[in-house]
Structure 1
Amino acid sequence: MWRSVQRWRGVVIIGTMAAITLWLAVTGQLALYIHPRYNVFTVTMSIIAVVLAVASVAGRRDHDDEDAPPPRRSQRALGLTAAAVAGLFTLGMVLVPPASLSTATADQREMNATAGGDEESLAAAATADEASIARFTVREWAAILRQTSDLSFFADKPVTDLVGFVIADEDDPENVFYVSRFVVTCCAVDAQPLGVPVHLPDWAATFEPDSWVSVSGEFASNPSSSSLQPVAVIPDTVDPVEQPREPYLF
């Protein structure tokens, strides 16, 4: 058994993982794990891995290694443990359906910590026309809110169909939630949450955390006395929507 494990574990695990990666690419779900700019490289490497795994199996011949010294007990235990862990990980990838990151991940990371922006981008936003403002995503609004809370800046700049998933404001979870998206630089491991605060008393009676919504409204001074966010969206409409095909912002 030991020699069989040693002989096949690497080929089986690599081949299976490569096949799963190709399946994710074909079904359009690879973006749940990596930035789209890495798709071509990842798919190419996966194809090579599958070809090499098949070639390894086709060309494998049993060798007479009866004379080889038996491994020490510690080596055998370590090897079997490593194979079991890798096998369980691979099995999990097969059985657990792909899913986007959620509030469980966002709670472990600081909201809007990576909401970038500079004076130039703020000036461009200040003079943007109505059509451009209507296309602003969570990324643009989060960057603006990180730079200014001047209400005059937000005059005549309504929020239009801002899509994201719901995360409760930890300081006033009953009245304020964030319409949120993850921004991904390389892969899901480095994903950082961005969010725009929305003041909607008793929102949890209608929407669950992690549910996807589309918000339209206007920015105003946050009516919440507990929330640390000075400016929030006062919504005209908050409608449930399906999760976008690409839930992350790149």
Structure 2
Amino acid sequence: MISPRALRIHYLVRTFILLGFAYYINHLIQTDSLHYYIAPRMEPFIRACPIPLCVLAFFVAWHALFGQGEQLCDCQHPVSNSIIRNTCYYGLFILPLTLGYLLPIQTLGSAAVDQKGMNIANPYHSHSATTAAIQSEKQQPKFIPRDEFAIEFADLAKLIYEEPIIQVRPEIFSETIGAINLFKSEFVGKSIELSGFVYRDAAMSEARMVAIGRFLVQCCTADATSFGVLVNLPDQPTYPMNTWIHVRGVIGVSSYEGEDVITIQPVEVQEIPQPLTPYIYTSPDSVEQYKKLKALDKTNNE
């Protein structure tokens, strides 16, 4: 049985841990930094956390300072007398909290891509075709979904095909690239604009190409996956890794690691600052989101 004095110390340690997490979350909210760690749909839940954490900390602190008798009992959840065990137990909370305070807030970049890899190949297995064969078959575009999962891509492809210059918008970045990749034969020769950070590996450097990448976040940055498009840059400056660029060019098809993937032949390349929200997120309805963005563009241009 642990002594009341030692138990009060445990309660105080837990109080400071709860307050530490509450303060850190509030710091991220005040500095508008939550989007570096979690997807937007999770933010409302995290923004509400500091208040219950502070309430819990108050009651734990009350037990530590004023608890008597049964109120200061560890009968149901006995506390260990081992210093090593307690250090490991509380360290599971204190270490990540300390790292959160000490490490600078920064976005994922090429180092994370080296660890996780970059998704460039088509997420759907479509028919292989060379650029020459595609261009010779150019007729009325057909966007026929191959399965139920491709229906939304097909509907989005019909809409973006009508644009004189396809804008790969951050709100539907992965869906737009997925639609183009799925129906790549129809999009060869179309103009396109997109932005992202520069990434290259040995194979890309040898082919004088780079990937324009974005990190796709589903829930939090722990599950982030890099998503990129190859750009031919034989006559362009050598942009350092993680440099953000905006590319306007023409869609083509090239073979990369045994698969036909879309590539961009650039017409104009500009270095840009990193956007305030560098990550991309999945849209529950990319077609509806596209229509909203087009309506917003029309309103802003009027």
TM-score w.r.t. the length of structure 2 is 0.67
Deviation at 1:46, TM superposition (A): 2.3
Over residues 188-227 of structure 1, what are the superposed CA-to-partner deviations in whole Å (9 max), with x where a residue is unaligned?
1111111010111376x631111211111112344x8989
Structure-2 residue corresponding to 1:11: 15
Root-mean-square deviation over aligned CA pairs = 3.5
Deviation at 1:123, TM superposition (A): 5.4
Measured in 2, the distance between the counterparts of 1:63 and 1:226 equals 66
Gaps of 5+ in 1: none
The within-5 A match list for 1:83-232 is 83-112=90-119, 115=123, 118=150, 120-122=152-154, 124-128=156-160, 129-130=162-163, 133-137=166-170, 138-144=173-179, 146-150=181-185, 152-155=186-189, 157-160=190-193, 162-174=194-206, 175-201=208-234, 206-222=238-254, 230-232=261-263
Q: What letter matches 2:229 in structure 1?
A: V
Q: What letter matches 2:203 in structure 1?
A: D
Over residues 43-99 of structure 1, what are the superposed CA-to-partner deviations in whole Å (9 max), with x where a residue is unaligned?
11222102332454356316689xx9xx877x3211123334532321211111211
Deviation at 1:30, TM superposition (A): 0.2
Measured in 2, the distance between the counterparts of 1:21 and 1:131 equals 44
Helix, strand or coil: the match of 2:116? Answer: coil
Deviation at 1:141, TM superposition (A): 4.6
**Residue 236 (str. 1) matches residue 267 (str. 2):** yes
Percent identity of the aligned residues?
Answer: 25
| Higher deviation after alignment, 189-198 or 40-49 | 40-49
Structure-1 residue corresponding to 2:49: 45
C-alpha contact (below 8 Å) 2:232/2:266 kept by paired residues: yes
Measured in 2, the distance between the counterparts of 1:103 and 1:17 equals 29
Q: What letter matches 1:19 in structure 2?
A: Y
Measured in 2, the distance between the counterparts of 1:5 and 1:235 equals 64
The 3 A distance-change label for structure 1 pair 87 and 202 is farther
Q: What letter matches 1:48 in structure 2?
A: P
Deviation at 1:119, TM superposition (A): 5.1
The 3 A distance-change label for structure 1 pair 103 and 115 is farther
Gaps of 5+ in 2: 125-148, 282-302
Helix, strand or coil: the match of 2:27? Answer: helix
Measured in 1, the distance between the counterparts of 2:164 and 2:62 equals 59
C-alpha contact (below 8 Å) 1:169/1:176 kept by paired residues: no
Deviation at 1:20, TM superposition (A): 0.9
Q: 1:249 aligns with which of 266, 270, 280?
A: 280
C-alpha contact (below 8 Å) 1:184/1:190 kept by paired residues: yes
Aligned residues: 243
Q: What letter matches 1:194 in structure 2?
A: F
Measured in 1, the distance between the counterparts of 2:150 and 2:234 equals 33
C-alpha contact (below 8 Å) 1:115/1:194 kept by paired residues: no
